[in-house]
Structure 1
């Protein structure tokens, strides 16, 4: 997955404590609905396709946003947000979904308690390493780097 999500091994992977992250989200946004769970991997089916079609009724026309969230997103959240094609089954993904009031352009989540480690890709630029170390200097966040030894990938601890 480094090729797709890690800028061809030049990027970083952040490792979180799932429970700590959920606690941080709940503390900050306890008035919003938080859904979480493992991703289900299955081939497309009629059930999943239904989630991508919205049936409009008279209630929906009065307040589309409320209708869309209460009627559609919540009813089909498993198919919309927690289901992926079996092509991705090797990801073993876990996902969080926070349904906000959409009154702000962004919602901040403080991750300093839940961030536990940073993994640098094989080609993470050395020029950025001192900045990364400075950024994490007063934290308990561990820094690791992916390396290849005779073509075998492994991880070494840097901090």
Structure 2
């Protein structure tokens, strides 16, 4: 699936590595927003199109020695969890390299992803370094302001069975030590994998890698989310098979200025080829 340009070998190896992350988007979004501003958006988790994430969570609660005050605080904790998930969590999603039956599946070479997220092969696939994104986030949104989670998505038939994230455990003295808000934050941090990194099995072919930022402040984040500078973590751009030719000069200039590699995901004679476009 690779062209035979020896001077591109190091980048081709990077594309196959665990450090490579791939983000499909429309050509207009890439050119007019991401590449022009060199900023990449992390959106509110509440803005996804998955009802598991945009709908409020329903919780059960268990414990001993409850009284009216504990029950009141448990209800406040439930409200706070949903408030945090709705207004204090941002995310961005990528494809990662994976394998099936021992055969590698590269994040850029998924025709269905090109069709669904890459504007029907007219869009682009931005190639990032996972390590460099992590370093940028640590520098710009360090641990003092945000809790940062990142992992590959796990896919399950049932998102509730086998998980305790929907069950709050509190005893009589729990809220003598914690406010309902702090209790909510601790619960999210304890069960973040079930809350942020699980999806229904039907999504499994997306091989999603997700990065989550949870603000430590109790203030709601702006509806526009947050943005990170991508100059140090964007490593290449891959054009879809039907990317508009009128934009070739512009995209080449962008890649030259950013010192990144430009490639082309081309379909010919029954197979997709990754070709150099620089």
- 1:2 maps to what in 2? 114
CA distance 1:111–1:150, shift in 2 (3 Å): same
- Measured after TM superposition, the shift of residue 82 of structure 1 is 0.6
For the Cα contact (< 8 Å) 1:54–1:72, is it kept in 2?
no
1:20-59 superposed matches below 5 A: 20-30=132-142, 31=144, 32-47=146-161, 51=165
Within 2, Cα distance between the matches of 1:43 and 1:34?
27
Q: TM-score, normalised by structure 1?
A: 0.81
Q: Secondary structure at the match of 2:247?
A: helix
Alignment counterpart, residue 239 of structure 2, candidates 110, 120, 134: 120
CA distance 1:54–1:120, shift in 2 (3 Å): farther
Gaps of 5+ in 2: 1-112
CA distance 1:41–1:92, shift in 2 (3 Å): same
Within 1, Cα distance between the matches of 2:200 and 2:255?
36
Within 2, Cα distance between the matches of 1:4 and 1:153?
17
Greater Cα offset, 16-25 or 87-96: 87-96
- 1:77 maps to what in 2? 192
Find the structure with the greater CA-based Rg: 2
Aligned residues: 155
Gaps of 5+ in 1: none
For the Cα contact (< 8 Å) 1:35–1:96, is it kept in 2?
yes
- 2:35 maps to what in 1? none
- Measured after TM superposition, the shift of residue 23 of structure 1 is 0.4
Within 1, Cα distance between the matches of 2:124 and 2:264?
9
- Measured after TM superposition, the shift of residue 54 of structure 1 is 8.4
CA distance 1:9–1:48, shift in 2 (3 Å): farther
Larger strand percent = 2
Q: Which has the higher contact order (CA 8 A, sep 6+)?
A: 1
- 1:12 maps to what in 2? 124
Q: TM-score, normalised by structure 2?
A: 0.49
Which 4+ stretches in 1 moved above 4 angstroms? 48-51, 63-68
Q: Secondary structure at the match of 2:226?
A: coil
For the Cα contact (< 8 Å) 1:147–1:155, is it kept in 2?
yes
Deviations 1:83-110 (A, max 9, x none): 1222222332211101124565242211
Deviations 1:35-78 (A, max 9, x none): 01111122114347875x687x9x7xxx887665x045324321
- Give the alignment's Cα RMSD to 1 decimal: 2.7
